[in-house]
Structures are given as structure tokens and as C-alpha cells.
Structure 1
Amino acid sequence: MNAAVEQAFARRGSKKLALICLFLILITLLSYWSYPGATLGEEDTQIYLAILLHSQDPLQLQQDIIVQHPHTAFTFFDEMVLSFGKSFGLNLSTTMQTLQLVFRVFLLSGFFLIARSLGCSQEMAAAVSALMMLGGRVLGVQTLVVEYEPVPRGMAFALILLGLALLSHRCFFSGTLLACFGLWIHPTTTLPFWMGWATIMLSENVRLQNTRRLILAALPLSATLLLSLSALQASPPEQSRYFLSVIDPEWERWLRLRTPYVFVSQWGRDEVYLLFWAGVILWLGWRRVKPAVTWILKNFVRITCLWAWLMALGSWLLLEHYKLALFPQVQPARALIFVVVFMLLVSWSVALTGLAVNTAKLENHLWLISTLSFVLDRKLLLLLWPLLGLELWKNSLLKRLRSHDHQDWIRRTSVLTQLALTICLLWIDPFNAHLVSWNSVKEVTFLIVVAGAVGILLSPRWIHPSLGQPFLLGAIVLLFLALPKVIGKPAIVPDRSEIQQLAAWAKRVTPLEAVFLFPDAEHDKSPGVFRYAASRAIYVDWKGGGQINFSRSFAAEWWHRWEVSMGRPLADNFVQELKRMGIDYVVTHKPHSLSSLELVRQTESFNVYRTRGL
């Protein structure tokens, strides 16, 4: 009888786990096609695609400044992408898109396992991990929790987060191995992980045989050695010598113009303020989940968050005051992604588990609304996080007070205080956030409706937990489908049909070594789209300047090209200079025209001119 019961429970558990796996796969697909979405060749992948294309065929883009100064020599990212595509017979764009889906599965799996370590049930952990896939922007450093494009830092973060999750479940070898792969893809992203890993491996609380501990230590050392040897052979000497150099005033001026996010002083005051609040919210939420958290995860959270704050402070001190060139290259302040991710994980866990226990409690609804607001519209946090902090303080006071009269007085006073705080913040409108607007009203209404629906689904009074939690997973699927229509899709892909058609013509008609210039493109990303689609070199473009923090010589060359060719009047003397600069074709927006050049192609928005006979 007991054996039959155990088998029945085992079958039920296996069926539930299979359904959760299907749900997580569905969420991965929805995060790609619905919300937040995915792009390719619109942001940083414009640079990576050019480098990868040249690596595939050295004859392509050989005149392009981007491939002449590649910054992937210190990683195995390009080798991984090219070998993966060659193994499965995929072209470059399909390879990148496939890898993006694979690494989103890794990221979602890491979220799920960490949520389990925070004490969530399987259904709750699935809900938390799904909500984490809504993403969010890391304040200050211009990175994303869920990257819209298949960039190395996003892939490496997915691996180390999954590795961290496995370590928290005491899977030491597999967790360390995954982190080593992350080290190969983007070393600087993994630095906070290795700080936590070293502390845990050296601790007496981790009981491992000496042989196994030695093997674990050998893995990252071997990975680092192999990566270093490869980088020494592949990296240009002029690039590696900038690691320990000092930034001169001219280079700093270019950095502040093109990559201001590497300077902490350039971050918005509202971003610094919200970063402070993110740390406070993480601490407040951590106090609620702390009893359920494993020792390993506790130490990882402490060490990685401490490292992140120290690196932000170190970037401000050593870059802005001592001008060390290492900091814009490594960008250690990006470790703040750990603060944001842990804050979101803890907040989602506290919100959902709290609503399952007490739906009527205002604190639980504020947890949910503020966390969803971080994803959808951060400006609302200027109001919501102070209100949440005040509500948490009130509840902590109520637990300490014995007198019912004092408790009633605290409740009445807190309502008046929260009302006064709300009116004050709306009146002051901190950081000119425009909190009072029709758009804010719509967003707050949507957030309240979502919080109310989640509360009903998780309330034992309304729906039995065996039904409510599966219904919650279904509601999350609907949320992913509804958000692009209600809020808007953040990963927006503009209509590139015209520039793609122009690129197809250029690829068919112009020589492989031809160089194009878009002199009136300014900050438009169309030249980068054209570069990859046409496999033709671009003399200079704004997005291509994103590498200036890695090499001073590249920065000088990029800025020189930008100054002499962009934003100048399209006069006859300028045309003569174009010929001397080695530019073969000039693409202008209509109605700009170059009467002294031969018009070879026209589209609805563009004119293409040839500067010389080829």
C-alpha cells in the first residue's frame, strides 16, 4: 500500500515538474517574441557582427575601422559563435539568434533555482523566474537584466547566475564549470562571481575532500591561463598596452562624449538615488527571506553586492580622479547588475509568498506594484519605494508594540503620513519626473489591476492553492502577451526594409573592398545595419565608436574620421576630400544632394553617389 502511494506521488511530482518545464520554455519564447523582445544588429551587435563577419572571411570589411581594432581578442566569444554556426550549418544571424534563445533558457533556469533557494515552492519559483524575464534596466551602467541582443556580457551573466544557483544547491563542480565558460565569453562580467566563489571555497563550512577542492580550484585557474595565452597571441600589442596607462585629457573628452556611462559622475541624479533605494529594498526584502536561504547563497549575495558598491566607488575615484585607463575597459561598476537582480528576485519572492499568506496586507501589494514598476516605468519608484519603506517601518513597529491603543494610533498616523508623503512627492515632482501625468495614471491603474488579480489568484479565501497557483502561471503568460499593447515593447525593431534593399544592391553591384559614408546620418544606426547586410565597410558611424574605451589609438582614429566627414556642409570642396579619404560611395538622405558626384542609386529616402571610377 505504501509503495503504491509513493509511486502515485512520484508520478504526480514528475508530471508537475514536466508542466513547469514546459511553462518555462513557453516563457523563454514569449520573452523573445512578445515582451521584452529581442533585436539583432541594432545596438552592440552591430560591432560584434562586423567582427564576426571579418573573422569568417578576412576579405570582408577589411577596410572598416571596427575590424581593424577588434576588442574580442580577450574572449572566446567569436570562436564560440563561429564554431556553433559551423557545427549546425547556420548563417551568422541565425547562429546569434539561436544562441540568444539558448542563453535565455540558462538565465531563466538560474532564476528558477535561486527562487527555490529563497524558499519558494516549485509553482512560486516558476512564477518568480517568469516575472524576472520581464527584465529591467540596471541603473547607471546602461546594461539590462535580460539583454535584448545576443551580446557577450548577457551570455556570461546567464552562465554565472546559473552557476551560482547550482552552487547554492551544492552542485559545486557543475556550477564552477559553467562559470568558467562564462569567464571565456566575457571575463569582466564574472569578476563578482569569482570573489564569492573564492570566499566560499576557502570556508570551513564547505566540507569537501582535498582532492575535490583541488580540482575545483584548478578549473578557473586553467580557464584563466588558457584565455590569457590566447589573448596574448591574438590581441594587438597597441591595444593591450592601454591596460595600465593613464587617460589623457583628449581621450577623456572623447569618452565623455561617446561613452559617458563609464563615468559615475555622468549618471543621472535620479539613477543614483534609485540605486541607493535598490540597496535599501534588497536589505529590507532580505530580512524577510533570510530564514529560508542557504548559507552559500547568503554569502554570494553579501559578497557580490559589496563588491558592486566598492567597484562603483572605485570607478568614481580611480577613473575620474586618477584617470586609470583600465576602468573604462573593464567597467567594474557593471557589477551593480547583481544588486539589481538580487533585489528583483527577493522582491518578487516576498510579494508572491506574502500575497499567498495575506492578500489584504498593503505591504504585499506594494512589494508587487513597486517591483513591476521597476520593470515598466522606474519613475514611479520615486513614490512607491518611499511608501513601501514607510509601510515596512509601520509593520515592524506594530510587531513590537503590546498596547492595542498604541497600535491603533500607529495605524492611523501611518495612513496620514503616507497620504502626506504622496502629496508632497507629487507636488515636488523630484528630478522633474512628471509623476502627475495621464500616462502615469494609466500605468498606476494597470499596476493596481495586476496586483489585485494576483492577490485574488493567490488568496486561499477565493481560490484553493492547488488551482490558484497554476492559474497564476497562466495569468503571467497573459501578462507577457498584454504588455506590448498596454505599455509598449522595449526592444523595438524599426522598419529597416529600405536600408536592407539598399544593402542588397550594394552587395550585388559594388566591389567587396568598397567603402561607404553616410555623412548626414548623425546618431542614426542605419549605417551599422547597412555594414552587416551589405558586407561593405563604413568609413565612420556613431555606433561603431562604442569601442573607444578599449583603445586610445582607435579613439583617435574614430574621432578624426568623425570630425572630417560627419556633420559638414556637403559642398564641392568636401567632395574632393572624400576622394582623398578613400571613400568610394556616399549615401545621403533626401533632399540632400551632391551635384558634383555621379548619382548611381536612388530609393525613397536615400541617394547614393560614386566618388570615383572603380
Structure 2
Amino acid sequence: MKSFALAALCVALALLSFFQFPGHTWLQQDTQIYAPILEHLRDPAVLRNDILVQRPHVAFTLYDEAAIALQAASHAGFREVLAAQQIVTRALGIWGLFMMAQSLGLAWPGSLLVAAICSLGAAIAGPAVLTFEYEPTPRAFAVPLLLCAIGLAAQRRHLAAGVAASAAFLYHPPTALPFWTVYGLMAIWPGKERSALIRALIPLAVSIAILLVAVRAQADSGEAQNLFARLDTSQEFLQRLRASYVWISMWPAATILRHLALFAIAAAAFARVRDYIDRDLRVLLIGLSIAGLLSMPLSWLLLEQGKWSLVPQVQPMRALLFVAFAMQFLTAAAGARALLQRRPVEAFAWFAFAYLLPLEPLMWSRIALALALAALTALAGVRWSPAVALAAFFAIPMLGGVVNYPRLHTPELAELSAWARANTSRDAVFLFPDINKGLAPGIFRSDALRAVFVDWKGGGQVNYLKDLGEQWWFRWQQTRNFQPADLPKYAAIGVTYVVLQKPIERSPDFQNRTWFVYRAH
């Protein structure tokens, strides 16, 4: 396939995955933290009364520098420049999938089939990550860049692989760490390509130097951290409350067994295609999968037993996404190879496993859909099987009922945000005392550019910053069980406006069908 046609396919598949399935979203989860931090870094007067932005945790990434630079150059909003990066990195990741599939001897139909199935994504239970993230977070950019690096390595383009993986490191070092660990072992292992592998480490050295300069430039921002500190009992309590996914002892046993099962399926698929896999791709897929499995006992040892405060920040168990990815890629590749060898029954079995991941959580109707997609793919043959995989982007949400994210952005919330932005002081502080763990306050914060006194999502930084965690917890306890008589109390602690879902016996400053706003003093 010509380079232009391949690039067009990668971009088209990236756009399909972005706009259709698994999709994209904004201000649903972690962008509720990153977006206000970016706004405050761009203009320190914005949200200066919000504890969320007073202690940013973006020193060890170029995510913020890249976003601010692109925003300044394009004059677009942060949502637009981050979405553009998300599409570009997805396209690069899909290109990596193509290269991986081609290295197994698959022509363009088989490569497109494998790339399309893997682009359906997978949710990783336990550490709560995705192979294709819906939100434009640092990890959403880093993972596709690593897939690109793996594909380039499979084509023995090692220096280019080093550049791609170094870009991933600049976006999100913890995500890139497993790749560089495995790649580093490959580089020092004696072999005829050792010099080429070592040269690929040069971009990593450059990226580390760049990151150290960026960290030094931001040394005065945020909260100073002791990387070798131990968690005290209050920190552990807050993290188990607010970031339980970091603690493997809080995972259901079924979650751990699931990852072991995925590894076993990946190993079986690998055994079927091992004769076609290049050495470098073989080492990377096996090494990253093993690293993912080992992250569970390693996290238990360092965090649950050693109480090392750095572990909740690095979150090593996120490496389990490589186990899921290896399973999805290898089963799809084994199915494609079986099609080439005219073994449709075997192809059906492998494709069934590959289609199951984007259909989780599983139920009988979704299992039936996975089996139907697998059967159609196997019956379609090599030439037409990619069409079935592309149809899965529509069948999974429509027939499988898979909804990857809720619809939180409502006209009423947008109206509230617009009113606050136009009619209140930029230093005003809002409180949503009856929302509990809802996500509306975080959307309001970024859309209105007004401080929120405390919200549940804002507590997501307790595993990064000790002082912020303590302050967040104190505020959270202060503002539970709202009563109208509490308004003077809220005014005394710095709240300007209280936003409620039900009216009280007082004239509101603003109201619509969903929200009622009252001045606290």
C-alpha cells in the first residue's frame, strides 16, 4: 500500500474511533482537573481562589506546555487544541497497529482488520484505564504514541521508535516507563542489532533532559514532594476512600483473575502466530505483558507493605493495559492468519475473543453480539473481513448498548455557567452542597471559569499531594448535609454563592429548571 493511502486510512480510522466509537468526551473525568489547571497556568488570575489549581501536578510532563503553546499559536480553546492532539496521536497509534500487523506478513486487508479491531479499544478493570482514552489527557496521548513506537520497532525502524516513545515519555512518564524498561533490556542484550537499539535510547536521553529543565522551571509552583516518603495513616485512609483503584487489596478477586485470563489467552494466540512474529515485536509484546502482570505484586509490595508514597503517583498497575492490548492484538492477528490459511472455525474463535473486550461489562446479549461479529468476520474472508470490523464501530454501541460515558453536559448547566461567567466576579467561589459525588461542579468550574469550594472529583489529587488531600477532606466534611440556615456559615469560610437543585425560601440570584443560585451572604 502506498504511503499516502496508508496515511489516509489511519486518519480515517482515527476519526471513526473519535467521533463514533469508542468516542471522545470532555470534562467527564480527569479533564475536570487538567482543564482548570491549564486555564490557571495561562492566566494566573483565573480560578486563583480554587484549591484545585493552586497546587498543580503537571511538573513532570510537557502536556501543559504543549497545550498552552498550541493554544497561543492557534487562538483556539484548550478543548480544541487537546482534541486535535488526541486525533493526531490516535492516528499515529493506528499506524503502529498497521505496522505491527504487516510485520506478521499480513497484507493491507488483514492489517486493516487487525488495526480496526484494536481501535475499538478496551477498558482495563482495576486500574481504571483504557487502551484508547476518551478524554484528551496525558495518558491518552502517550499510549497511542507507544503503539506507534512498537510498530516502528517491529519494522526495525529503531531510531523512529525511540522518537515516538520519547514523545510518549514527555507526555506521561509513568505510562512510558514499562516500554522503556523492556526496550532498555533489548538494547543491552547481545545481538546483531544492538547498536541500532542503543541509538534509539538517544531520544530518551534528550527527553529526560527536556523534562528536567521543565521541572526546574516549575520548581516554585505546586507542593514540594518527598519522593521517598512513607504514607501516614491519614493519607492511606484518604487514598483508599478516593483512589481505591491504586490499592490492589481493594480489588475484587474476579478482577485479578480476569487479568490472568487475558494473559493466558494472549499466550495461546501468541503460540499460534509465533513463527510470523519478528523478534523485536515478540520481545515487546511478551515483555510488556509480563510487566503488566508483575505490576500487581510489585504494587502490593511497595504500596500495601512498604507504604511508599510515590507508588500512588506512578500507579504501576496501569501497565495492565498492555496485557489487554496484547490479548486483543494477538487474537485478532491469529484470526487474520487463520483466514489466510482457510481455517474459518479457528478464525471465528480468535475473533470472538478480540471482539469481547470492547463489549465489557459482559452480558449474554453482548456475548452473542461478539460471537455474531466473529462469525461474520470469519465468513467474510480475507478481502471483506475489514468491512465487518468497521461495522463493529456502529454495532457495538447500537446493538450492544455500550455507552462509554454519560451525557453530563446539559443546556441548564451551560446556562448556569454562562450566567456565572457574565454576572459574577472572577474571584467568586461557588459551592454545590447537594450534588454529593456528581460531576456537575467540575464542568461548571471549567465552563464558567469560577472557583468551586470543594467537589468530589477535585479529590482525585489526594494520591499526589498530601496537603491538598487534607484540605480537600476538611472542606468536604464541612459542607455535607446542607441546611438553608447554613448560608452564613458558608459565607464565613469563603463561599460566595451556593448552587442547589431545589429552591429554598429565599429569592435566588439565578434559576432555571435545574439550578437555583443563592448568595451566601
- TM-score with structure 2 setting the length: 0.95
Tell me what 2:285 maps to: 301
1:582 to partner: Cα distance: 0.7
Q: How does 1:506-585 map to 2 (within 5 A)?
A: 506-565=420-479, 567-572=480-485, 574-585=486-497
**2:373 and 2:388 in contact (8 A); partners too:** no
Cα distance between partner residues in 2 of 1:378 and 1:249 = 34
Corresponding residue to 1:590 among 479, 502, 505: 502
1:236 to partner: Cα distance: 5.0
Question: 2:516 aligns to what SS in structure 1?
Answer: strand
Tell me what 1:609 maps to: 518
**1:30 and 1:481 in contact (8 A); partners too:** no
1:232 to partner: Cα distance: 3.3
1:343 to partner: Cα distance: 1.2
The aligned amino acid for 1:522 is: N
Q: How does 1:379-458 map to 2 (within 5 A)?
A: 379=362, 440=364, 442-458=365-381
In structure 2, do the counterparts of structure 1 residues 227 and 272 end up closer, same or farther at CA, with 3 Å as the change threshold?
same
The answer to whether residue 332 in structure 2 is matched with residue 342 in structure 1 is no
1:554 to partner: Cα distance: 0.8
Listed as ranges, the gaps of 5+ residues in structure 2 are none
Question: 1:148 aligns to what SS in structure 2?
Answer: coil
**2:121 and 2:357 in contact (8 A); partners too:** no
Listed as ranges, the gaps of 5+ residues in structure 1 are 1-12, 380-438, 459-464
Tell me what 1:94 maps to: 80
**2:186 and 2:197 in contact (8 A); partners too:** no
In structure 2, do the counterparts of structure 1 residues 236 and 277 end up closer, same or farther at CA, with 3 Å as the change threshold?
farther
CA RMSD of aligned residues (A): 1.9
Question: 1:285 aligns to what SS in structure 2?
Answer: helix
Cα distance between partner residues in 2 of 1:24 and 1:575 = 55
The aligned amino acid for 1:475 is: V
Give CA deviations for 1:13-60 in whole Å, capped at 9, x if unaligned.
54xx65554333322112111111110111110100000111111110
Cα distance between partner residues in 1 of 2:200 and 2:341 = 41
Tell me what 1:289 maps to: 273
Tell me what 1:65 maps to: 51
Cα distance between partner residues in 2 of 1:448 and 1:306 = 28
1:561 to partner: Cα distance: 0.7
Cα distance between partner residues in 1 of 2:127 and 2:343 = 36
Corresponding residue to 2:303 among 311, 319, 323: 319
Q: How does 1:176-255 map to 2 (within 5 A)?
A: 176-207=162-193, 215-235=199-219, 239-255=223-239
1:196 to partner: Cα distance: 1.6
Cα distance between partner residues in 2 of 1:227 and 1:448 = 46
1:479 to partner: Cα distance: 2.3
Give CA deviations for 1:79-115 in whole Å, capped at 9, x if unaligned.
0111122222322111111111111111211111112
How many residue pairs match? The answer is 520
Give 1 or 2 for the bigger CA radius of gyration.
1
Tell me what 1:502 maps to: 416
Question: 2:509 aligns to what SS in structure 1?
Answer: strand
**2:429 and 2:450 in contact (8 A); partners too:** yes
Q: Which moved more, 1:485-494 or 1:545-554?
A: 485-494
Cα distance between partner residues in 1 of 2:84 and 2:143 = 17
Cα distance between partner residues in 1 of 2:360 and 2:179 = 29
Give CA deviations for 1:490-514 in whole Å, capped at 9, x if unaligned.
1343342111111001000001111
Q: Which moved more, 1:172-181 or 1:349-358?
A: 349-358
Question: 1:583 aligns to what SS in structure 2?
Answer: coil
Tell me what 1:377 maps to: 360
- TM-score with structure 1 setting the length: 0.81
**2:500 and 2:515 in contact (8 A); partners too:** yes
1:360 to partner: Cα distance: 4.8
1:303 to partner: Cα distance: 2.4
**1:36 and 1:491 in contact (8 A); partners too:** no
The aligned amino acid for 2:395 is: A
Question: 1:516 aligns to what SS in structure 2?
Answer: strand
The aligned amino acid for 2:348 is: H
Give CA deviations for 1:199-234 in whole Å, capped at 9, x if unaligned.
12223324365xx77754433223213312321341
Corresponding residue to 1:154 among 140, 148, 153: 140
Cα distance between partner residues in 2 of 1:117 and 1:151 = 30
In structure 2, do the counterparts of structure 1 residues 443 and 214 end up closer, same or farther at CA, with 3 Å as the change threshold?
closer
Give CA deviations for 1:291-326 in whole Å, capped at 9, x if unaligned.
111111122223222222222211111211121111
Corresponding residue to 1:477 among 364, 375, 390: 390
Question: 1:224 aligns to what SS in structure 2?
Answer: helix
Cα distance between partner residues in 1 of 2:215 and 2:397 = 42
**Sequence identity of aligned pairs in percent?**
28
In structure 2, do the counterparts of structure 1 residues 571 and 107 end up closer, same or farther at CA, with 3 Å as the change threshold?
same
Q: How does 1:348-359 map to 2 (within 5 A)?
A: 348-359=332-343
